[in-house]
Structure 1
Amino acid sequence: MKNVKNNKQKQINDIVSVVKISILLLIGIILFQNFINNNLTVWVPEMYYTVICLFIPLMVSVLIYLIWIFSTKYRFNKRYVDIINKIEIAVFIIVFSIIIFICGVNESQYKFLYLFIIITTTIQYGMKQGIIVSCISSLIILAMDIFMEPNVIVNTYFENDLILAGVFILTAWPLGFYVKIEAEHIKKLEELINIDGLTELYNHRYFCDSLAEKVKNGDRNSKPVSMIFIDIDYFKQYNDTHGHQKGDYVLRKIGEIIKSNIGEEDIAARYGGEEFSIILPGVNEEEAIQVAENLRKKIECTRFYGEESQPKGKVTVSIGVSVYPYKARNDIELIKSADDALYRAKFFNKNRVEAYTSILDEIKKNIDEKDIELVASIKTLISVINAKDRYTYGHVERVVVYSRMIADKLKLSKREKEILIYGAYMHDIGKININKEVLMKKMRLTDEEWELLKQHPANGVEIIKSVDSLKDIIPLIISHHERYDGNGYPNKLKGKEIPYLARILTVVDSFDAMTSNRPYNTRKTYEEAAEELEKCSGTQFDPEISAAFIEIVRKNDGEAFIEGVSDIGEIHI
């Protein structure tokens, strides 16, 4: 709709510009006619040079104006365009006044010229500007009448021009009303297209268009753009308990809370389903977190119908926050990073605000400066793997989150937790050397293809081994497919021979493999996967670690755990 509006405005501007060029040509004709009437009864050669000197500058001026309005004028900032437009209107009024003065002042028959600028101004800028121009034009012609015949008792020209002044104003007034009605109609259509009918916030499409525009403005003005993602906790359970009509009531009420607690420049939208999003132009991360926390508290303290049936006895929301350009390089990454922060909030007990944190940033803090560029290139490699393998897309993120949870459960030290997280992030990086056909194959792999796939831990080690600061995660990458009974690969390590953190990674990696849709495997439920961990405890998995993770899964009680995990996408760094 915005493009349609812009195209329509451009067409109007082009038409008006053509009219203004025609007016300039008309002025040339008037000048020529006046020149002929006043100076020429018989054509003489000397007059040729006078005509040339008079009209060549006029034609050059028309050409320059033509190039100006069609190639450069509307490329300026809107504020500058408004100033230029006002100057342009003033110039035309001055030119018309000069023509009238040359062609007889109060006796001139060309006073109607002002109508052109009145009409074009009203069409372009509305009734207010049109009436202002008509009043100025009227004052000029009436002033000329009084100035030329100051002492006459009855000024015929003044009386006649009062009628002309009335025509000027009556032209601007109804035409301005028409332009106003047309603008209101367009605005109404924009609202129908851009507004979500249920919550009366902006819709997803308008949000995406606005975000791209705000990011560009942020670049231009060197200001940040923050983004908030909001998701209603246990909303499916609320809908199942009370019905979709009551669910719509919750969505509307939360939409009202959001709208009444953000700034005038902020843009709030219903992103989809039970998710809301807010763009905060010129707002830094700290301020955005404060806005998000305020919204979280407002929603938690609001009384909703049937909220006592919710797990925590209240309708609550989880919120993620990110900021451009510090946490994202463009509008797409800003959405992804805010989405990542949101799902972290859902994992950690919900009803909380989480700011986006980058695993890559965490890694950079702990590596040598000379290795930063190499580590940054790992991001590109993981993006390539994600594009090749739909299963890997999202797998890394989920394994990272599972690793955070079990690290807390097992009370790992800060350094051990860091190594586990970094290992979870990079454990499949060796798949970069595996053909897409093998990764995406829907049938069971052949022996040759299986042997090729089994090389990815060693390939991963080759990629990172030159980075001294990452040497601690090499055991996790090389050993995350070892089995507790010694039947794993690549080194057939057994029991405690397998590094402790690698044994942890094996559990969470296998759990996600079981609960994900893979080309050659039917997805298990979370309880089925927990049962499989129990069944394989002591053979494939370390019994102590698998028991701890099973407890995490069952403590989060099925549906809540699924809600927090199943929709997570690619890791955002």
Structure 2
Amino acid sequence: MHKIDKRPETIYLIGVSLSGILLHLFLNPFHTPELSEWVLIFSLVGAVLLLNHYTIPLPPTGNSLSMDSTVYLACIFLFGLQLTLGILILHSIIFGCFQRKIAWWKHVFNFSIYSFMIITAYYLFILTGGTIGVINTTSLLPYILSLTGYFFINVFLIGGYFLLLYKNNFLSVLKGLTKETFATYLSTLILSLILSILMNTQNIFGLFLFIVIALLLSWEFNQHFSLFQAMTEKAQKDFLTGLNNHGYFKEILSLKIKESKETDSNLVIGLLDLDDFKKYNDLYGHINGDNLLKFFGSLLQTECSKENFIASRYGGEEFTIIMPNTTIDEGFRFLNTLRKKVNDSYFSGVENLPYGCLSFSAGIVPYSSEIYGSSELLSKADQAMYQAKTQGKNIVQVFDDQTEYMIQNNSLSIDVALEEADQQLKIFLSKDIYTYRHSKRVYKYALDFSNHLDLSEKDKKTLILGALIHDIGKLEIPRDILNKKEKLTQDEWEMVKKHVTFGKEIISTNKKLDLLIPLVELHHERYDGRGYPHGLKGDNIPKLARILCIIDSFDAMTTERPYQKTKSFCEGLQELRRCSGEQFDPEFVEPFINFIETNYSEKFIKKEPATNKDE
């Protein structure tokens, strides 16, 4: 006895399919068409089959425009509901017979969706004043509303299935489907009107003309799309290994990170480095070295394709693997299995390498909401790979920022960077004494407050250094704007806001400061999503940037600024509490208030509140 599948997506499929079939049968009772009607029906069914087969590709995503809906809509406008539904069922039967590789339930589900779309479009057309058999180009509202209903029924029914299948956010599913299909359906409306006019004046010959034009368009667009694909692939592929190149890898990684955020799905990145490749080059020359890279790239592509992973050449003898919908344990097992397979794959000359075989060292890291973008993710993978190298090579190392090695490694580099940043910050003395003093105060707050938080040593050092140089981008802001005593104009304020982007560009030139990019760029993001430069919201803002936002804002409020009067400490703390959950992360507001009240109570808190108000 078969167990009934009670998954929500299965129940949804059954419900939509059954209701679509019943509605179709109720509104289209069987009747025997006359001979002239059969000629028209089979002509239209043949047109739908042809248009389904010869689609128009749409670059750059590779989606295609099928003009079958053009025929259905034209039939609604010219012949009404029953004939259109008759064409649908005949097409579905013939199409199902020729496409038996497609699961039967997909044919049924698709038929039901089209039934709902056609019925909705027909009644919207009639209710808004449309007349069957008459094409009135002076009043387009019935045609537009008919297509709108056709479009949204498609989006909602298919969106509902994907929502249940992938457990995505409903609005994000609808947004994605609408973005993908809106242009297609707008084209469908225009083409359906053209077909209606042709058939209204020339009948079957008009349909023939439309099909010929559609097939010529399909052929021409396919030719251009093939050329586009060839040029795109050439630009995206590494010429030596045939894998994705560095630039295209970064594009894919950014897209996969965005997808992981939106769908809350797993994502793992692996960074691989061929062991002792320089030694191989020295022994056998660069031509043989290139052949070795080709051999390894081919092996990597073969193994990654089996798992739907994305392999790329990162540069030199370094390679990357993007592993969507994969846990860190699954990713580790895959890389370890790949490592052993590589060890067992012979290539001429590798027997003279230290391990006597081909090998690689790899770092692997899972993406999480605490990681800010691709640069930090790759930095962590690089650190893990470096650790694998130091442990003797031919090892897969999972990134773990709590290990003693990682703490020591990051502490050392950040301590050195702290001294360098302090020296660079002194440039502010000659340009903007306020920003220099503000940065030093924020640094001191961060130094003391970090000891009151449950942070790793690495995060403490990162927060402290980020606090010191968070406003370094103001070096690029004109001095007259920074020192202006009057309220800034809108244009001047927009210029000041760019300091976060300028700061990111400045510190990006120093690889040791990669960990600070989120703090420099995002310390003006707001918890409610109304900040800048990206409008990030909630936990999408890295934790340390959320903490720095509180510290930075508190000091800005409680010290004199060129274009805004100061608040007392009491007023500053009240403002933090008032904006908790809006501008500031409530998780850190109260701890910071307690820290200020504990450490600054006698000196500042008990003073009378200042009478100055913000301008």
Q: TM-score range by the shorter chain?
A: 0.3 to 0.5
Q: Report the TM-score when normalising by structure 1.
A: 0.45
Relative to the length of structure 2, the TM-score reads: 0.42
Structure number with greater Rg is 1
